[in-house]
Amino acid sequence: MRCIKGLVGIVFAVLYFCMALVSYGAPKPEDEFMTFRKKYPDEAAIYVVRKQEVNYRLVDDVVVTTIYVYEELLHLGDNTTRYAGDKVYTSSFVEVSDLKAYTLVPQKKKYNKVDVVDFKESYDANSDVFYNDTKEISFTYPSVQKGVKTVLQYTKTIKDSRMMGMYFFNTYLPVDKAVYKVVYDDKMVIEPRLNNVADLEIKEEISKFSETQSSLTYTSKNIDKIKFEKNCPSYSYLGASAYSPIAHITEANGNKRYLISSPEVLHSWYRTFIKDIQHHDPDVKNLVNTIIGQDDSDLDKVEKIYSWVQGNIKYIAFEDGMRGFVPHPGKYVIDKRYGDCKDMASALVSMLREAEIEAHFTWVGTRDLPFKYSDVPAPITDNHMIATVVLDGKTYFLDATGQYLPLGLPSSMIQGKECLISLNEDKFIVEKVPIIPKEINVMCDSVNITLDNGIIKGNAKIEFYGYAKFFNTFKLIKANQKSVDDYLKRLLTKGSNKFHLNNYNISNLSSLYEPISINYDFTLPDYYRKIGDNIYINLVLDRTMTDALLEDRHVALENDYKGDI
């Protein structure tokens, strides 16, 4: 094992050397700069090349996964210091080694290499996650200025090949050349997939890499940068990507072991995450008996237990190695009164089963992820867990992380997504979460106005239903009084910036099943004109639709839910 690892290290050392030769064997710095300046006249910087090589090796029936990364950025503008900083990430599943970063400064006919010497390692400060084991190695390239190149190269070791991520051909800057290569043992079968590549010209090459390995290479050139706009889909939708999982391997004894090949294989693996937490607990049973009544219907029981978990278990995101995949037992979560999505699903399943309601652990991806289980049966397809219950032929998607969601309304972020519902150890179904029609998500604003000496006086009532209620609840229930006042003034503004919200009263804010109702009155001076016996007034007091007009947009607009806007 140690000898083979050493051999792999030698192979990558040779690759590093060859990459360096390619870089130093390039045209004169001035000629290279002028070539790319002419080719990309409006860009501050471009990637000359972005390369990633995945190397799968089979050692004693264990897959060893190593990824070599090489990126070369050319600074074309006068002020490119915003690209001087960079980061590399590690975690329980990803180990980084052989990290090198340096600046190539033009000096007559060649580049002068200036190494980065200060690498700072810290935990990734992600405000969305209370704790995770991801660490970032941050650094700053020296001597960044117009005409220099900054180079990053390192090796990643993936501790479980099933945790492989995607490679993106394009990024936030133009890429002159992108290369994605996969080297794999002949005892492996890979199932590569390209996503969102219709606008790229990609050259595919399959060849023999060594006596025991083959290679697949995708090469693309002249790649435009990804265009980002307000409320656009996620990076995964906009970027062109490649994904190369191992479908199965042939072990030394001739048996085939399947890794990423079908929803059945994925479900079998996922079941190992929950096999030790599904058991009866008398304390959970006693708690459930205090929540539900003897005469409650099954739907009543589900509604009461769901509401209890929503109101009593605090959502705290927690990711630490396999804890990012394995939930705690239901009783543990109930006792602690906090947990992440997996833990809240575990509490729901445990309590519902004690109420003799068959509930199921369910994996699902949010809309940030572009894949379906039917196309990509892999961990990159999901990032969330909920519970599901089927009553009278209707599936209820229970996401207790949505504290103010009524039963029957799935969280908006999973609408239209496939979910993997585990029925038992051997059975599962893949079902699509419905997209809630706009008629459910209503904001109804009724206004009566009177005209009084140049001032419009209004008496109004606004009601929120569906997701319109859900999202406004967050704005109104957790904020201080000033924040509520400021938010309502923005939300309810009519006519012009002279609008003044005088008084308001909010009803049903804490109810999950009644619409939020706000009665309010306002004044709006200098909005109408009286000339003789004629009054001139623009009765389109609400400018929401006007503000929603789209002009000169290059990418799709994504809304949280279907509505009138």
Question: What tokens appear for 526 in the block?
Answer: 């200098």
Judge if 415 and 447 occupy the same domain: no
Judge if 349 and 410 occupy the same domain: yes
End position of a domain, from candidates 388, 403, 432: 432
pLDDT of residue 68: 98
Judge if 81 and 166 occupy the same domain: yes
Judge if 494 and 419 occupy the same domain: no
Number of domains in the chain: 3
Judge if 235 and 270 occupy the same domain: no
Please check whether residue 50 lies inside any domain of the structure: yes
End position of a domain, from candidates 402, 432, 462: 432
Judge if 196 and 339 occupy the same domain: no
Judge if 324 and 240 occupy the same domain: no
Judge if 222 and 248 occupy the same domain: yes
Closest listed residue to residue 524, CA positions, set 493, 565, 557: 493
The DSSP symbol for 139 reads E
Domain interval for residue 447: 443-547
Which residue in this structure is represented by tokens 């207790």? 400
Looking up residue 247, the CATH number of its domain turns out to be: 2.60.40.3140
End position of a domain, from candidates 257, 275, 298: 257
pLDDT tens, the chain, 565 aa long: 333 334 344 344 444 444 444 444 557 999 999 999 999 999 999 999 999 999 999 999 999 999 999 999 999 998 889 999 999 999 889 999 999 999 999 998 899 999 999 999 987 655 455 556 788 999 999 999 999 999 999 999 999 999 999 999 999 999 999 999 999 999 999 999 999 999 999 999 999 999 999 999 999 999 999 998 888 999 999 999 999 999 999 999 999 999 999 999 999 999 999 998 988 999 999 999 999 999 999 999 999 999 999 999 999 887 766 778 899 999 999 999 999 999 999 999 999 999 999 999 999 999 999 999 989 999 999 999 999 999 999 999 999 999 999 999 999 999 999 999 999 999 999 999 999 999 999 999 999 999 998 899 999 999 999 999 999 998 998 778 999 999 999 999 999 999 999 999 999 998 999 999 999 999 999 999 988 889 999 888 887 766 566 677 888 888 999 986 5
Judge if 381 and 450 occupy the same domain: no
pLDDT of residue 541: 87
Q: Provide the pairing of β-strand 418-422 with 428-432.
A: antiparallel
As a whole number of Å, the end-to-end CA separation of the chain is 60
Handedness of CA 184, 188, 189, 193 (dihedral sign): negative
The DSSP symbol for 61 reads T
Please check whether residue 361 lies inside any domain of the structure: yes
Please check whether residue 217 lies inside any domain of the structure: yes
Question: What tokens appear for 52 in the block?
Answer: 């990633």
Judge if 117 and 232 occupy the same domain: yes
Beta bridge partner(s), residue 105: 112
pLDDT of residue 128: 56
Which residues, at least 6 apart from 124, have a Cβ–Cβ distance to it below 8 Å? 89, 132, 134, 135, 136
Closest listed residue to residue 74, CA positions, set 31, 119, 115: 31
Closest listed residue to residue 287, CA positions, set 267, 315, 261, 309: 309
Model-wide pTM > 0.85: yes
Please check whether residue 555 lies inside any domain of the structure: no
**How far is Cα 90 from Cα 68, in angstroms, rounded to an integer?**
14
Judge if 137 and 228 occupy the same domain: yes
Please check whether residue 205 lies inside any domain of the structure: yes
Looking up residue 296, the CATH number of its domain turns out to be: 3.10.620.30
Please check whether residue 490 lies inside any domain of the structure: yes
Please check whether residue 437 lies inside any domain of the structure: no
Burial class of 85 by CB neighbour count within 10 A (0 to 12, 13 to 18, 19+): exposed
pLDDT of residue 23: 44
Judge if 233 and 310 occupy the same domain: no
Please check whether residue 37 lies inside any domain of the structure: yes
pLDDT of residue 17: 40
Beta bridge partner(s), residue 155: 68, 97
